[in-house]
Structure 1
């Protein structure tokens, strides 16, 4: 007896409530469908279906068996698809969603290089800072900086650490002074990213010490690049990310503020539906992004490497 085949037939009969219709869908005679079901019931020592001349219905045992049986059949089909595509050229659409600043600064180039390796793919990159539901919007892969919405529905693979940094222009600090403690931020113009999980509460740590400051946002935006441009113009102190600020910090148009205090560490993550194995093209893209954002296998992304010896602002 081919138990997996019998399980597949049972799932189809349960779905269609008909031996004949299930046989037509599967290319089998009604008699062969019935034979497989009887063999499955004999193996399980349980009656799965009520038969009558008018209809087929599930017994209590059949109802209990249907969900795990369906899951097993789907897993077997997915495994077959993975094997079938293992050596095939990656092709077709690939729908990717990411935050706008990270998407434009780092992801776009990485996806372009991936596409050069696999020219039969057609990536579609959707950039939006809103926390969109990847399943509802039909994305194959979502890149997220923190803010994982539903760990049960989504599988996650970390791509790189994502550090926060406070920074301001030298001109602003010359005019308003350099804060020495987190509480000093109350006397400064703070530029706030509206999608921070805790709102205007900025959290700091130094060793075992923890502090939280709820700032008065002088300027708010839902895009990190907008806030960075404002900070470079001398508007205030911005809560930024190193993947966005690194070049301005290296060039000196921005300098770190309160660098001896750490901001909460987030992670850049790749999300995909947990209900199925990632397709070969999604799995290949994730592997490519890990290689791009953790070069040499080291958990220090390329945007953080130049910042290791950067001096902080001083009074």
Structure 2
């Protein structure tokens, strides 16, 4: 017995007071209707219909059972409809993890417009520079910056490349002098972003020449915003993604040094658990991220 078919047969027969009409509605023969009802009664150990040659009426047990069957089948239909809408219309709660500085630099002023586009969508955006476990912590998507993305079962979509720049406040450079080579950084105060993949060693290259400098710092901090604040305050040099300090460089609040040397480039990715059955809420947010970074990257 197919339990769900039997329940639908029972409901149709009871509500229409006719086995024949139930069969026509469901595309079943009278014999198939009778068989489903009989098997359901055998499964329940109770008679659902009183049968005579002229009529078939619900028993007391049948009336009680019908109330529960109607509620159950209606709930299943509503669940199917809700999932169908979720597969086509962006809605529900979208949980996203993103670095603080990335969000404040590019996204925070644009998110209200994104949410206006999708009134049924709720965004739970967690700003955290640490690398979250998407599956274990229940995130739909995360934005990550990496010099080299690690092997993972996650799907990664590239958003932007961020070249780094070594910079400091003019007051600091006036007091301590500008370094003329990477090796000269050993004599300078350096501000260290502790969550960076190159926090302990900064690498510079010029042509075929490469130099790596071990970073010794009195100030190590897990926020890029705090690193930038320290630079503006004249406390040392740091190697930071250029987009984070572009306005400061243009305004003269910070000054780039060793510009004839190239350093690392961090790539921003949107990562999410699976490409299969991608929920509309995730798809539209990925599109929003792509549009935003295409429009704003320098």
TM-score relative to the length of structure 1 = 0.65
Q: Structure 2: how far apart are the matches of 1:92 and 1:271? A: 20
Q: Structure 2: how far apart are the matches of 1:256 and 1:177? A: 13
Q: For residues 11-22 of structure 1, what are the structure 2 equivalents within 5 Å?
A: none
Is residue 100 of structure 1 aligned with residue 100 of structure 2?
yes
Compute the displacement of 1:95 (Å): 0.6
Cα offsets for 1:258-304 (capped at 9, x unmatched): 11212211211100003744211211111121111113xxxxxx252
Partner of 2:237: 237
Q: Structure 2: how far apart are the matches of 1:218 and 1:303? A: 32
Q: Structure 2: how far apart are the matches of 1:267 and 1:97? A: 16
Partner of 1:224: 224
Q: Structure 1: how far apart are the matches of 2:151 and 2:135? A: 12
Partner of 1:123: 123
Compute the displacement of 1:242 (Å): 1.9
Secondary structure at the counterpart of residue 236 of structure 1: coil
* Cα 1:85–1:259 shift into 2, 3 Å: farther
Is residue 282 of structure 1 aligned with residue 289 of structure 2?
no
- Contact map agreement 2:89 2:280 (CA 8 A) in 1: no
Is residue 146 of structure 1 aligned with residue 146 of structure 2?
yes
Secondary structure at the counterpart of residue 167 of structure 1: strand
- Contact map agreement 2:167 2:256 (CA 8 A) in 1: yes
* Cα 1:87–1:134 shift into 2, 3 Å: closer
- Contact map agreement 1:246 1:303 (CA 8 A) in 2: no
Secondary structure at the counterpart of residue 96 of structure 2: strand
Secondary structure at the counterpart of residue 213 of structure 1: strand
User: Unaligned regions of 5+ residues in structure 2, if any?
Assistant: 7-79
Partner of 1:186: 186
Secondary structure at the counterpart of residue 239 of structure 1: strand
273-282 vs 165-174, which moves further: 273-282
- Contact map agreement 2:97 2:126 (CA 8 A) in 1: yes
Cα offsets for 1:137-156 (capped at 9, x unmatched): 11111001117776432000
Number of equivalenced pairs: 224
TM-score relative to the length of structure 2 = 0.69
Compute the displacement of 1:108 (Å): 1.8
Compute the displacement of 1:214 (Å): 0.4
Q: Structure 2: how far apart are the matches of 1:87 and 1:201? A: 46
Q: Structure 1: how far apart are the matches of 2:145 and 2:214? A: 22
Secondary structure at the counterpart of residue 218 of structure 2: strand
Large movers: runs of 4+ above 3 Å = 83-89, 147-152
Cα offsets for 1:112-135 (capped at 9, x unmatched): 221121122111110011111111
Q: Structure 1: how far apart are the matches of 2:264 and 2:147? A: 13
User: Unaligned regions of 5+ residues in structure 1, if any?
Assistant: 1-19, 30-79, 296-301, 305-315
Compute the displacement of 1:225 (Å): 0.8
Secondary structure at the counterpart of residue 136 of structure 1: helix
Is residue 208 of structure 1 aligned with residue 188 of structure 2?
no
- Contact map agreement 1:200 1:217 (CA 8 A) in 2: no
Q: Structure 2: how far apart are the matches of 1:137 and 1:150? A: 19
Partner of 2:247: 247
